[in-house]
Amino acid sequence: MRRRPGRAALGAALTAAVLAAAVTVAAVVGVVPAGGGRQAAGEGTAGEAAAPAAQVGRQIDTLTARLRAVPGDWPGWAALGAAYVEQARITGDPTSYPRAENAFAQSLRVHPDGNDLALAGQASLAAARHDFPAALRLADAAIAVNEFGTPALGVRVDALIELGRYPEAWQAVQRMVDLRPDVSSLARASYAFELRGEVGLARQTLRRVLADATAPADVAFAWLHLGELARDTGDLAGADDAYRRGLAADPSSAPLLAGRARVAAARGQTDAALADYRTAVGRSPQPALVVEYGELLESLGRLPEAREQYTLARTTAALFRAQGVDVEVELALFEADHGDPAAALAALTPAQARRAGVFVDDAHAWALHRLGRDSEALAFARSAVALGTPRALFRYHLGVIEAALDQRDAAVADLRAARALDPHFSPLQAPRAIALLASLDGQRPAGGDR
């Protein structure tokens, strides 16, 4: 199971970083505006090399001290809320979200009318908690006050994407780029291209992000997603180079470490992969990242250690839920493979009011398959690949479901497509794809379409 950890939460937090940088300049010392969408975090002033977690901690301390002295500083309260959202993203600890909620509410109490900063902040918090209907509603409210507000426009794009409202999302991305072709808008444009399978344009747009980036976190962000594009299309050398360049800009990045771990695992360098995963989950125990680590351990036959990671993933997910974060989609594939598929499906069904799109369709298809309901699963699996999103796992799931329905030619084509896209897409599932493909090829009549 590999979905880039916390993409939606990252997007919201990067929007929060923009918001924090944009208000109360005297209070937000040393914060440079950063991009969103695919989501980069704000770092310090030029030449500052402090770790992001330490920097955002200092930012929170500075804002808190100012607000004690000037409690009526409503932009300052909005900036404090944004900083707490950013802190949660960096550390993987969602207990900052209630503090963010209180800060945004205080900003609105002090200045209830025309406060697009607090509304945009609340939108970013809703997105970080994966409540995308609320995120969209709040972003629209902020845009009604300030139609040029970058943070709200960014959350609107993120929410539309996560709600599966793709045509509207593409239009919203175009509006952002038209208004300001900066790191925030170009990052989201790149993700839009990627979702549609336009990998060349996605890569080209990320290169523009890289060219425009000045903050180390923006540089790291661009290299991270260039690495992910390379990795998702089987280019291990390109991915490894991108991850290493990203780590040079931000050595503390857990996603970049996890990316480097994936490359090492694909190359059979298991000791290096395990070491990087161990460090990454220690820094940011996002459930999806912990599951990745566990699945690598399981693929190596180290089942007790894998189960420890799966237990940690469930414990961490419970912590996220307690802070108002919806993690059902992120954990659906994990539960379908390693837990209770019926529970995964039961969690996904109400989640569809809050989430939709290709990732939800793929998870829904796989849960149904694991329950033996392949006829129902097929429509969801086909929907997951309809955009052309470069995810070998989507094609693998579709191929498995087709094979279960005795649609051999279609299954062979999709399994081959998965392997052609990324032969190392999962340490557990990729070997199963090879075995199933060999089995299906062996069953095909001589002279069949191969």
Residues of the chain with pLDDT under 50: 1, 3-14, 16-17, 20-50, 446-450
Domains of the chain with CATH codes = 7-269 (1.25.40.10), 330-450 (1.25.40.10)
DSSP 8-state secondary structure symbol assigned to residue 141: H
| pLDDT value for 302 | 96
Residue 386's φ and ψ, nearest 5 degrees, are: -65, -35
How many other CB atoms sit within 10 Å of the CB of residue 176? 24
CB 7 within 8 A of CB 289: no
DSSP 265-325: HHTT-HHHHHHHHHHHHHH---HHHHHHHHHHHHHTT-HHHHHHHHHHHHHHHHHHHHTT-
CA pair distance 126, 129, nearest whole angstrom = 5
CA pair distance 243, 264, nearest whole angstrom = 11
Return the closest-CA partner of residue 414 out of 441, 396, 435.
396
* Residue pointed to by tokens 């290299």: 223
155 sits in which H/E element: helix 150-162
* Residue pointed to by tokens 């002279």: 447
Q: CA-CA distances (angstroms) from residue 62 to 48, 55, 310?
A: 17, 11, 38
CA pair distance 205, 319, nearest whole angstrom = 36
Q: Could you tell me the pTM of the whole model?
A: 0.83
CA pair distance 210, 432, nearest whole angstrom = 37
CA pair distance 42, 52, nearest whole angstrom = 8
CB 28 within 8 A of CB 79: yes
CB 179 within 8 A of CB 372: no
How far is C-alpha 367 from the chain's CA centre?
A: 21
